[in-house]
Chains A and B, each alone.
Chain A
């Protein structure tokens, strides 16, 4: 039996178990997506977009579909970010009302689970869902479309400014037989609206589930959307995600893609700058150790003149971790007066760690300012030495410099709780487990000198 067949069978089983008829368009899409997935199958390393990422662990896996969303409040609280926020929680892809908090939705904001949105007004969902993430994008987007039943639908009316961040929390539980989930996130930002959405992936340490998420965000004229992804999934988790953004005139999209967890991780981010004045900023940080594999593919399509994009990705790799970065900027013909800058820096902390990076530019217009840079190196021994002459022990010195390396990205993170989480994780994972308190003491001591 082919690897794909396991998934197709699971799909069929789910289909026949479904007791309520779905809207026609949903069923038709499911069918088209599963046909597409059957035709293309799982990507292999011969596929350029998957050259460095081996997905056999997923293809050969045997995943069930979760049936409930039970999760103890206490353990959920420990995993939840200490942020005052509007919150949607999914446990292995199933919506959990008790762990969600949507009691005080501001005016002009709609946040609901996908299943509910389909029940109440499926036409409104159908008008936009899948508009950005076609089944052709990747075999995984096809798989997601075929399976997707749950997720988040978020809408901001024109002119709405949402103060509190909106957190979509995905919890992964440990099971005897691992489960898979195919969540779908849909964000519609009306004209001149402003909001922050955070996707947070976290779970029980022993979990080994497969998460395959697809997110779509539509930004109307002048909309400002900040998207955070904090991926702290259990180390056994297999995590595939894609985020597709459609930007209208003068809209501004900022992405923070922060990856700390997961055994096998692949992120795709695609922004289409479709009208003048649109601006996209990508910030990324990936920290991997052990045998973690983290792959980030980003794409910016400059489809209109006078658009702007900027990207800064930092990778820190330890032990036998494998990092992949592929950043692509495409400037369409006649997209004049655009500016696109891209930077990727990687820090290798171990001899067995590996990074494969490919910053690409595809440019078909001449009046452009484009640049990209990629560097890979190790900690500057002279800087380590300089710190040691100030009485800082070597481990702390190395930790300090590693944090400083991440600093360029972390200092733009506006949610303190997120920044803290990342910095603590980076610090905690450093060799010899040096602690932040020690670091602060050292810094204070330095200041007193």
Chain B
């Protein structure tokens, strides 16, 4: 490999690195019950919500940070983090795009995702989360015609408390794990989607999570509910400005699919990964779980993970309903000193449940990446099926790729298959392409994209294009 090219790559600055200068209504760092009361009050939440948060906080205090992941990072000082940051004048919400702070719009422009254009052209409703508070929600009317509720979680707590009470914390309980408990205590915003019985959501729903104010942890909470025979496709994408200090992101996503419902959740994550020494960068500790509660329901996770200094993320499916289906498609790219420990859990409880796992890991530079997955077949999950494939591609001799697949099978009618391979880009493949006049760089891109094809084709159109471009940029010059 041309070491020069490698150097160029590692010196490449983070393209999305900039800071928007907006006055933030930020709380001083620190976490205690007062912080939580402040957040809850700021959000105008009812009493039960505050109690819920405090209960989560008390559980969190008794827990310890998990250490089992194949990750290496200094301990996080939770008292050094500010837990609330909102753009100015939260009471004075803009009613349409024109009223949105022009500086905000500018930020989106810089990111290459002009909100109005995107919304108009792609027909995507964007619930733009800018530093923990929903700034604007578009296409609300069209959605409400169909009966779909798409709003920020704070709004949902105020306007649809019964729905929130009924579902929140039922998929990821408050005390599920260290980061989920922390999130339950201090979450500031996120999205809420409710698709009523028989409705197919008329458009793809999208949220851009962004982290802006320095030292502000982002604690999103997303809840998506699909009633019987309902369908929704949800897109989540992230970019964040350049920072020196590590920023903590501990989100919780809960999906509930009732009978015959289908939820498709796609993520493109491109947060700041830190510089070449691993300085700065986002800590991404996310709990994502879907519950196939009804018979014949289906939940599909697709993710493209290229950013973050540390990723700790296991989108999972609980296959409770008979004939329910869980899917997980993942491409994870780590470069420089990035670390990722990611994978999925498929918990088969109901009869005839099926799951598919396709994970593609690409590790370059000094990065380390692990696939960690669990397939559990319960004693009553008759005829359960799982197919797992996780492949790793290594680029450079200083990186690492690891697989830790757990299979726990308690039923003789189950069929579970797991395959994994680890290799580098085949020199014969490169040679073959080059002998046909394709440049080395293009050949590598072709091979890497081919390697990820199984996952990309699961992405919605606009995401697939973005993901492919992202991959090429991330690996620019990394191969030879």
Contacts and interface: CB of A to CB of B under 8 A. Distances in A.
B344 to A, nearest CB: 15
B394 A363 contact: yes
A375 B424 contact: no
Contacts of B239: none
Contact of A353 (B395, B412, B416): B412
Nearest to B371: A361
A248 B67 CA distance: 35
Contact of A355 (B68, B399, B409): B409
Interface string B379-417: 100000000000010111111111111111111111111
Given A348-B411, A378-B412, A369 B404 contact: no
Given A363-B401, A363-B402, A366-B394, A373 B418 contact: yes
Interface in A331-366: 333-334, 336, 346, 348-366
B423 interface: yes
A364 B423 CA distance: 11
B353 to A, nearest CB: 15
B416 A375 contact: yes
A377 interface: yes
A352 B402 contact: no
Interface residues of B: mostly helix, strand, loop or mixed? strand
B20 interface: no
A370 interface: yes
Contacts of B405: 358-360, 374
A362 B361 CA distance: 13
Contacts of A432: none
A374 B398 CA distance: 28
B419 interface: yes
A371 B409 contact: no
Interface in B414-436: 414-424
Contacts of A388: none
A123 interface: no
Contacts of B396: 366
A368 interface: yes
Nearest to B374: A358
A370 B407 contact: no
Nearest to A341: B421
A376 interface: yes
B423 A369 contact: yes
Given A352-B379, A361-B401, A368 B423 contact: yes
A232 to B, nearest CB: 25
A358 B406 contact: yes
Contact of B394 (A354, A356, A368): A368
A351 B411 contact: yes
A372 interface: yes
B424 A366 contact: yes
Given A334-B397, A356-B408, A351 B421 contact: no
Contacts of A370: 421-423
B403 A350 contact: no
B414 A377 contact: yes
A309 B411 CA distance: 31
Contacts of B416: 374-377
A241 B407 CA distance: 23
A368 B392 CA distance: 11
Contacts of B421: 370-371
B73 to A, nearest CB: 18
A429 B365 CA distance: 53
A266 to B, nearest CB: 17
A367 interface: yes
A354 B401 contact: no
A360 B418 contact: no
Given A363-B400, A368-B423, A372-B403, A354 B409 contact: yes
A176 interface: no
Contacts of B423: 368-370
A351 B422 contact: no
A423 B294 CA distance: 46
Interface string B321-347: 000000000000000000000000000
B399 A366 contact: yes
Nearest to B70: A362
Contacts of B419: 371-373
A348 B414 contact: yes
Nearest to B397: A366
A354 B408 contact: yes
Contact of A377 (B402, B406, B415, B424): B415
A331 to B, nearest CB: 8
B394 to A, nearest CB: 4
Contact of A376 (B395, B406, B415, B420): B415
Contacts of B409: 346, 348, 354-357, 376
Contacts of B407: 355-358, 374, 376
B406 A361 contact: no
B394 A351 contact: no
A334 to B, nearest CB: 7
A364 B400 contact: yes
Name, among A333, A351, A355, A366, the residue most crowded by chain B CB atoms within 10 Å (CB to CB).
A366
Contacts of B422: 361, 363, 368-371
Contacts of B420: 359, 361, 371-373
Nearest to B392: A363
Given A353-B412, A368-B423, A362 B402 contact: yes
B406 A351 contact: no
Contacts of A351: 379, 411-413
B392 to A, nearest CB: 7
A48 interface: yes
A374 B418 contact: yes
Contacts of A376: 407, 409, 414-416
Contacts of B406: 356-358
Contacts of B408: 52, 354-356
Interface in A364-409: 364-378
B402 A360 contact: yes
Given A350-B412, A359-B418, A366-B424, A336 B403 contact: no
Nearest to A373: B419
A372 B389 CA distance: 10
Nearest to B403: A361
Contacts of B410: 352-354
B412 A349 contact: yes
Contacts of A356: 406-409
23 contacts: A333-B398, A334-B397, A349-B412, A352-B410, A353-B412, A354-B410, A355-B408, A356-B406, A357-B406, A359-B405, A361-B402, A362-B70, A363-B422, A364-B399, A368-B394, A368-B422, A369-B422, A369-B423, A370-B421, A372-B418, A372-B419, A375-B417, A377-B415
Per CB-CB distance, the 9 closest pairs between chain A and chain B, nearest first, are: A348-B412, A366-B394, A370-B422, A374-B418, A376-B416, A364-B400, A354-B410, A377-B415, A371-B421
Given A355-B409, A361-B392, A368-B424, 19 more contacts: A48-B68, A348-B411, A348-B412, A354-B409, A356-B408, A358-B406, A358-B407, A359-B418, A360-B405, A363-B401, A366-B394, A366-B396, A366-B424, A368-B423, A370-B421, A373-B420, A374-B418, A377-B415, A378-B412
